[in-house]
């Protein structure tokens, strides 16, 4: 049986990946920019005794704001939050989640190279 946290993260990750897949070029650019904003914010927040919790919570705050207004940018915040949690390497199935996150990030970064029009 998969532990609850891993299952929850997988569901959240699938939400974010679905948003990326369903977005057009402009939407992907928007999500990619938001992901970069999230990574910039994360870089300013210290770990709490080795825990990424403060970074994750900051991303989730932004995620909720964007999700509540149905903004696809929520996906960028969620991917960054999951990336932080997975980077702690103490989660059941973290390697597989990392592969999915890395693929999603790669797709976002590739989309930035596509022209908008």
Among 115, 95, 99, 101, residue whose Cα is nearest residue 20? 101
Q: Is residue 117 part of a domain?
A: no
The total number of structural domains in the chain stands at 1
Residue 93 has pLDDT above 70, yes or no: yes
85 within 8 A of 2, measured Cβ to Cβ: no
Query: 4 vs 111, which has greater pLDDT?
Result: 4
Q: Does residue 72 fall inside a structural domain?
A: yes
In three-state secondary structure terms, 59 is helix
Q: Does residue 116 lie within any of the structural domains?
A: no
The model's pTM is 0.93
Domain that holds residue 38: 4-111
What are the tokens at 96? Answer: 């597989």
How far is residue 87's CA from residue 97's CA, in Å, rounded to a whole number? 10
Q: Is residue 73 part of a domain?
A: yes
For residue 99 the two structure tokens come to 């592969």
Q: Convert the pLDDT of each residue in 44-77 to its tens digit.
A: 999 999 999 999 999 999 999 999 999 999 999 9
Q: Which residues contact 86 (CB under 8 A, 6 or more apart)?
A: 9, 94, 97, 98, 101
């Amino acid at each position: 049986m998969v532990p609850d946290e891993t299952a929850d993260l997988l569901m959240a990750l699938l939400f974010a990946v679905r948003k990326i897949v369903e977005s057009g070029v402009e939407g992907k650019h928007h999500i990619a920019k938001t992901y970069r904003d999230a990574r910039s914010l994360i870089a300013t927040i210290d770990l709490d005794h080795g825990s990424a919790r403060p970074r994750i919570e900051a991303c989730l705050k932004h995620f909720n704001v964007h999700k509540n207004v149905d903004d696809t940018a929520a996906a960028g915040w969620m991917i960054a939050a999951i990336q932080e949690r997975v980077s702690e390497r103490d989660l059941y199935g973290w390697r597989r989640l990392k592969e999915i996150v890395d693929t999603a990030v790669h797709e976002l970064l590739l989309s930035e190279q596509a022209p908008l029009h």
